[in-house]
Amino acid sequence: MSAPTTARWTPGERLAGRAPLPDAPEGAPVVGVLALQGDVLEHLRALRRCGALATEVRTAAGLAQVDALVLPGGESTTIGKLLERFELMQPIRDRIAAGMPTFGTCAGMILLSDELEQDRPQPLIGGLHVRTRRNAYGRQLDSFDTRIEVAGIDGGPMDVAFIRAPRVEQVLADEVEVLAEVEGFPVIVRQDRLLAAAFHPEVTGDDRLHAAFVASVLPATL
């Protein structure tokens, strides 16, 4: 992909007094962050720290310019409705079917799931062969931090933040790999070029999961 022009500051960072990040190295993958709703800014910064050329995606034209996509945390029902309103749902499904690396965190995991453990339907991208439960650990007041071991991630346990977090209730296909669990339930899963985490890896300062995803966009594999 040809890299779109991006500023070294993400909007709002200059006013907040945050230092700009260095330019991405030559040949860096272009990784989009879906920017309709949710925790977009911190994902952009984490991806840039990991050497990606990170950019916001709001349109089908913007989606066509990226090598990979991050679906951030937020409100999954709202994001799903906005995907339909902005006619992004089917283009994302088509890119995923064509092999685009995609990383869903929290609400992003919900959106990627084939099935949800709930009575009311909501718009989903699908493609990840799991059944997921929204708010599996409770409401906002029940959010928590913990440490988990992640298969394939060196450097010891990761500190992770579960904020109104989902979890995988059931793996529906053999090709889904469970990379980490909490209380016996999968919280990181991988299926081919799809990666999903139930928590918010962008808020803790530990970039190893983002770095592994960026590496997976390159010829090297996660």
> How many Cβ atoms from other residues are within 10 Å of residue 63's Cβ?
18
pLDDT bracket for residue 53 (50, 70, 90): very high
Is 51 domain-assigned?
A: yes
CA distance 106 to 165: 6
CA distance 59 to 43: 18
Is 9 domain-assigned?
A: no
Tokens 């999954």 appear where?
A: 76
Is 10 domain-assigned?
A: no
Contact 165, 137 (CB under 8 A): yes
Across 132-161, average pLDDT: 85
Number of independent structural domains in the chain: 1
Res 52 pLDDT > 80: yes
Where is pLDDT greater, at 125 or 11?
Answer: 125
Q: What is the CATH number of the domain that holds 192?
A: 3.40.50.880
Q: What is the mean pLDDT of the chain?
A: 88
CA distance 80 to 75: 9
Residues assigned a catalytic role: 106, 200, 202
| Position 204, amino acid | T
Res 5 pLDDT > 60: no
Is 58 domain-assigned?
A: yes
The SS3 call for residue 179 is strand
pLDDT in tens, 163-222: 888 999 999 999 999 999 998 999 999 999 999 999 999 988 899 999 999 999 975 333
Q: Which domain holds residue 38?
A: 30-217
CA distance 199 to 181: 11
CA distance 176 to 80: 23
